[in-house]
Structures are given as C-alpha cells and as structure tokens.
Amino acid sequence: MRRLKPQTRKAISQREDDLVKLAENIAKRLWEALNDVQRRDGKVRQLRNILEVAESTDSWKALELFIRYQAARGELPKDWAESAIQAFDALQTDAQRIAKDKGDPAKTIHLELVTRVLGHAVRWHVWEVKKQQEG
C-alpha cells in the first residue's frame, strides 16, 4: 500500500464514484474489443496482472510500458491498451489537484488512482463475464 496522508486518502475516496464509472467504461471497452466469451473470460487474468504491476511499482511509465507489452504480445487488444493508457494518464490532472491541496506527491496519488480504477475494472469485467455465461 502506498503511503499517503489520511486527508489525501479521504480526497481520493471522495472521488470513488467517478473512479468506479471510469473503470466501468474501461471494462466495457475491453469487453467490446473481445469477440467471444472464452476470450473475454481469459482476459480477467491479464487485468489482474496489470493491477499487480500497478500495486507494486512507483512508476507510471513502467506500468504504461507493461500495458503496451501485454498488447504487443497479443494478450490484450492494442486499441483497448491505447485507450486505457489515455484514460489512466488523464488521471494525472486529478492527482495534481489533490497533491496541490493535500501535500502528497502527485506521482504517488496518480498511481493510487490508477490502481483503484484497475481494481474496479477487474470487478466490472468479472461481472460481465459471469452475466454472459449465465445467459
């Protein structure tokens, strides 16, 4: 877990609904980019891999590269990877705003926001896969 001041964590938590919505959009784009249920089910692991990297790194560039790497290997659609990277990169604006107000480093806040969105995206994707499997 990243070390953030309690007031920073609270500011992030107050944006949780927006993060969940962003995650839903990211998961929906992945769902739409994949054309069959088996392929969709298999991508839960890829999302979790990205989440694990996000939780373990202090570098946005390393995480961005890992997403591109997964796409280059054919594990994720390239178009989805690019749109996800853009969405995650846009969170830097929120991170800078929170950092200015609360005093924690924007880089750390940004990675925390990305990690939260990825966690929610995994849950959204699992929901869609199970819903589809059950008919």
Q: Where are the alpha helices (DSSP H) in the chain?
A: 6-13, 16-33, 37-56, 60-72, 78-102, 106-133
Q: Is residue 60 part of a domain?
A: yes
Q: Is residue 5 part of a domain?
A: no
pTM as predicted: 0.92
If you ran DSSP here, which 8-state letter would residue 76 be given? Answer: S
Q: For 18-53, how does the pLDDT look when each residue is reduced to its tens digit (9 = 90+)? A: 999 999 999 999 988 886 544 665 678 899 999 999
Q: Is residue 25 part of a domain?
A: yes
Q: Is residue 1 part of a domain?
A: no
Q: What is the pLDDT of residue 35?
A: 66
- 28 close to 83: Cβ distance less than 8 angstroms: no
Q: For 57-94, how does the pLDDT look when each residue is reduced to its tens digit (9 = 90+)? A: 999 999 999 999 999 999 999 999 999 999 999 999 99
Residues 19, 112, 26, 28: is their CA dihedral positive or negative?
negative
Q: Is residue 3 part of a domain?
A: no
Q: Is residue 8 part of a domain?
A: no
Q: For 96-110, how does the pLDDT look when each residue is reduced to its tens digit (9 = 90+)? A: 999 999 999 999 999
As for how many domains the chain has, the answer is: 1
Domain span at residue 60 reads 15-133
Q: Is residue 2 part of a domain?
A: no
